[in-house]
């Protein structure tokens, strides 16, 4: 059970990190665009 739970938690964390990474990358891109225009 512990191993299965650990794998499940890892998958959930991986998905959360991926979604956060996408949001951060979008924010960084918008900041870079604004800085270039400015």
What one-character-per-residue DSSP string does 1-38 give? Answer: -HHHHHHHHHHHHHHHHHHHHHHHHHHHHHHHHHHHH-
pLDDT tens digits, one per residue of 13-34: 666 666 666 767 787 778 878 8
* pTM reported for the whole predicted model: 0.31
Tokens of residue 22, six digits: 């996408």
Rounded CA separation 36/38 (Å): 5
- Full domain range(s) for residue 32: 1-38
pLDDT of residue 11: 62
How many degrees, rounded to 5, is the angle at CA 21 between CA 19 and CA 26? 100
Phi-psi domain of 35 (left: phi exceeds 0; alpha: psi -120 through 50; beta: other): alpha
Q: What's the domain count of the chain? A: 1
15 vs 2, residue with greater confidence? 15
């Amino acid at each position: 059970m512990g191993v299965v739970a650990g794998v499940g938690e890892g998958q959930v964390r991986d998905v959360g990190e991926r979604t956060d990474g996408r949001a951060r990358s979008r924010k960084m891109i918008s900041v870079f665009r604004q800085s270039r225009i400015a």
